[in-house]
Chain A
Amino acid sequence: DGGITQSPKYLFRKEGQNVTLSCEQNLNHDAMYWYRQDPGQGLRLIYYSQIVNDFQKGDIAEGYSVSREKKESFPLTVTSAQKNPTAFYLCASTLLGERSEKLFFGSGTQLSVL
Chain B
Amino acid sequence: ILNVEQSPQSLHVQEGDSTNFTCSFPSSNFYALHWYRWETAKSPEALFVMTLNGDEKKKGRISATLNTKEGYSYLYIKGSQPEDSATYLCAFYGGGTSYGKLTFGQGTILTVHP
Contacts and interface: CB of A to CB of B under 8 A. Distances in A.
Interface of A: 4, 33, 35, 40-45, 48, 50, 56, 58-59, 90, 97, 99-108
B105 A42 contact: yes
A90 B44 CA distance: 9
Interface in B76-114: 89, 91, 93, 100-107
B22 to A, nearest CB: 14
Contacts of A56: 100-101
Contacts of B34: 102-103
A48 B1 CA distance: 16
B107 A42 contact: yes
Given A45-B101, A45-B102, A103-B46, 10 more contacts: A33-B102, A42-B6, A43-B89, A45-B103, A56-B101, A100-B51, A102-B34, A103-B44, A105-B43, A106-B43
Interface on chain A toward B: helix, strand, loop, or mixed SS?
loop
Q: How large is the interface on B (under 10, 10 to 19, 20 to 34, 35 or more residues)?
A: 20 to 34
Contact of B31 (A33, A99, A107): A99
Interface of B: 1, 4, 6, 9, 31-32, 34, 36, 42-46, 49, 51, 89, 91, 93, 100-107
Contacts of B93: 99
Most buried by B among A35, A42, A48, A50: A42
Nearest to B99: A99
A108 to B, nearest CB: 7
A92 to B, nearest CB: 8
Nearest to B4: A42
Most buried by A among B34, B44, B91: B44
Q: Which 9 A-B pairs have the closest CB atoms?
A: A102-B46, A42-B104, A99-B32, A105-B43, A99-B31, A43-B104, A42-B106, A99-B93, A105-B44
